[in-house]
Structure 1
Amino acid sequence: MLTQRQQTILNILVHEYIKVAEPVSSQLLAEQYDFGIHRAMIRREMRELASQGYLSQPHTSAGKVPTDKGYRFVVDAIMQEKTNQSYAAEMWEAIQQEYRATKTLKTLHFLTRSVAEASSAFALGYLKSEQMAWREGWEEILREPELKDPDCVNRFIKILDKIEDGLAEMKTPATIQVYIGEENPFVKADDFSTLIVGFRPAGEQKGVLAIIGPKRMPYERNIKLMASLSCFINSLQ
């Protein structure tokens, strides 16, 4: 059981790591945030978080990074927050115009591209009725430092294939699903996270859309994006 202070430190450390893509030190936290305690106490709390499995320390670094358990703690807190449809309202307006013009979930291609741009991650859309898939966001995902290694890119492509197969077979989820690292049910993807939302506008076949990116993704932004997407797309007439 984490204390309130430990929860605060963990939450801030996760968000800092997402932002800077480098291990986060007690010195950085002490300089940039006021926890009301000395740096030595921050360091001690970080050690305690590590002992409980929320943080780990790369061998060559004085800082710490979140583990899957640390990310999960923060994600679960975000999932409890309410998100309304007004989030990313301009994007939804453009999608609604596209949908009204075509009256088909082939709009999913446009939607997939829009979500990739908004999330700065890779988006995969799958329309079950036609067994069609769209992949968007190569430019966005290849900017991530985790994908500078060609071997990592090749591994990512193989992971996408497995996730696409999984989306085709899975029951359309009623709520947002967030799989962090080894939680992924479709493929071994220790370095990546996947957010999945299902939808079915009135009179249309079911579709699924996933955001896929490094575990160091901006979960709060992407979860809010997917939550508002779910509200919006299911309200289309």
Structure 2
Amino acid sequence: MNERRAIILEAVLKEFIRSGRPVSSGQLFEEYDFDIKPAAIRLELSELADEGYLSKLYHSAGRVPTDRGYEFFVERILSHELDFIREPRLLSKLAEEFFSGDRLEFLDQIAESLHVLSIGYDLEGENVYKKGLDELLRYEDWEAIEDVVRVVRDIENIDEHLEAVLHDIYNEGSDKPRVFVGSNPILKNDSLSVILDSFDDFLILLVGPKRMNYRTNLGFLSKIKQHINTINHERRNTN
């Protein structure tokens, strides 16, 4: 994909994640300086739809991202250095909770800050911790009450298959966080996205709708991880 088309696709994702509404060529022309005319933007959107990155709703002139579009967006984010500015006091508090072993409070702070469901899995003790289901259910993306019930049941039963799946993923040995859009090996529900990262022997999953704020969530996890690794390094040097 050429860079101009990639930038336009990234703009569509940003706008859709922000508003949840289909994105039109006119909107992009007004809000972004691509240095091309609206007709050229429409052509690019049409090409992106043909390539499977966008889809068009029958009742709207705008476009919405497909799972492939989200995956491309996430790859763009991960290809750059993740940065997230947050109050140092919050980072210190999270690190304190992590090292004290207060996993539920640690996850609760993350869920509250990012408005996602946060799940933790202790590889040594094989314990599962969950916080923030209320944050997940606050999103306006649910089309019917049946969708909410399905998600709640999925989360309630996650302990049954989490152990085997996470051990397999962890053993693949990637330093970068893993992002699953829609279909994933962790949840049965394909309307959600999952971000998975490891903090030593503690795995963290962030669960949210497909239009979660990937840049913020990935940057937040990266910042916490850097802070915890720095403290670990300092502790080793003083012992």
Please indicate, yes or no, whether the TM-score normalized by the shorter chain is above 0.5: yes
Stretches of 4+ aligned residues off by more than 6 angstroms: none
Answer whether contact 1:125 1:135 (CA < 8 A) is retained: yes
In the TM superposition, residue 186 of structure 1 has moved relative to its aligned partner by 2.7
Counterpart amino acid of residue 113 in structure 1: D
Please give the alpha-carbon distance, in whole angstroms, between the structure 2 residues aligned to 1:174 and 1:108.
Answer: 23
Greater CA drift, 47-56 or 128-137: 128-137
Please give the alpha-carbon distance, in whole angstroms, between the structure 2 residues aligned to 1:92 and 1:65.
Answer: 35
Counterpart amino acid of residue 26 in structure 1: S
- Indicate whether 1:157 and 2:152 are aligned: yes
User: Structure 1 vs Structure 2: percent identity of aligned residues?
Assistant: 30
Give runs of aligned pairs for residues 55-204 of structure 1, distance below 5 A. 55-83=54-82, 89-99=88-98, 103-105=99-101, 107-147=102-142, 149-161=144-156, 163-169=158-164, 170-171=166-167, 172=170, 174-175=174-175, 176-182=177-183, 184-200=184-200
Deviations 1:152-189 (A, max 9, x none): 1112123324544444222236431111112x123433
Greater CA drift, 127-136 or 72-81: 127-136
Counterpart amino acid of residue 211 in structure 2: R
Greater CA drift, 10-19 or 23-32: 23-32
- Output the aligned Cα RMSD: 2.2
Query: Which ranges in structure 2 are unaligned for 5 or more consecutive residues?
Result: none
1:24/1:35 Cα in 2 relative to 1: closer, same or farther (>3 Å)?
same
- Equivalent in the alignment of 1:21: 20
1:167/1:225 Cα in 2 relative to 1: closer, same or farther (>3 Å)?
farther
Deviations 1:19-59 (A, max 9, x none): 00011111211121121111111111100000001101122
- Equivalent in the alignment of 1:45: 44
Please give the alpha-carbon distance, in whole angstroms, between the structure 2 residues aligned to 1:58 and 1:134.
Answer: 38
Counterpart amino acid of residue 178 in structure 1: V
Please give the alpha-carbon distance, in whole angstroms, between the structure 2 residues aligned to 1:73 and 1:19.
Answer: 17
Greater CA drift, 58-67 or 126-135: 126-135
Please give the alpha-carbon distance, in whole angstroms, between the structure 1 residues aligned to 2:115 and 2:17.
Answer: 13
In the TM superposition, residue 147 of structure 1 has moved relative to its aligned partner by 3.1
Residue-pair matches, total: 226
In the TM superposition, residue 233 of structure 1 has moved relative to its aligned partner by 3.2
Please give the alpha-carbon distance, in whole angstroms, between the structure 2 residues aligned to 1:112 and 1:122.
Answer: 9
- Equivalent in the alignment of 1:203: none
Counterpart amino acid of residue 94 in structure 1: K
In the TM superposition, residue 110 of structure 1 has moved relative to its aligned partner by 1.4
Query: Which ranges in structure 1 are unaligned for 5 or more consecutive residues?
Result: 201-205
